Structure 1
């Protein structure tokens, strides 16, 4: 499998979150500073992230993915920490808000799962899809969002 299919996997997951949980977002982006003019809504911010940030990260994350097991674990943790650090900055700047019990801790776990799934998808896409369904089901059970209308 190539990195492009893994990127599509990531974007599909993000778009599913955006559409299925449109009225029950556990995190929500709010524009700050000049963002009000460029990306004035959560939807536009999320879309920009999916189409501009994810491709860049995907290329570096998968392109430099280590071969040894322990280095792979470290690589996944490093990227989860990078994303968590960005979220902490956004949280402090009030450009992201958490709802319905979501916390920075949940975000870190979510980032670990996301980067693990991206790594799995690169080599075993069907396993990543199955693990994604398991992850989504677990989060759905924990946070109990209402079914979309």
Structure 2
């Protein structure tokens, strides 16, 4: 699952390099260090994806009902983080008709 996330993001970055649907931008910490979307994407891939997928899989429940709630919780969590980054922190921009829905 970890490789799926990372490889999927790398394939997206490669195939849509000139026609991006979204782009990350750094405004808080390392504006001079993290000015490239690729560097920010790699950091997100190897830090955020790895840590959240380990938590997700490590606590994945056995019963079907709990699995449904667990999946819904993580969809809500990832969507909320993207919404906050998009609307309030201005850390991500959407392009070419892409939106949060």
Q: Distance in 2 between matches of 1:74 and 1:100?
A: 33
Deviation of 1:84 after TM superposition, in Å, equals: 1.1
- Tell me which residue corresponds to 2:28: 33
What TM-score do you get using the length of structure 2 for normalisation? 0.90
Structure 2: 5+ residue stretches without partners: none
Question: Is 2:18 the counterpart of 1:12?
Answer: no
Report how many residues are paired.
Answer: 100
Higher relative contact order, chain-length normalized (CA < 8 Å, sep 6+): 2
Q: Which runs of at least 4 in structure 1 moved beyond 4 Å after TM superposition? A: none
More helix by share: 1
SS at match of 1:35: coil
What TM-score do you get using the length of structure 1 for normalisation? 0.63
Deviation of 1:67 after TM superposition, in Å, equals: 1.0
Q: Distance in 1 between matches of 2:27 and 2:71?
A: 29
- Tell me which residue corresponds to 2:98: 102
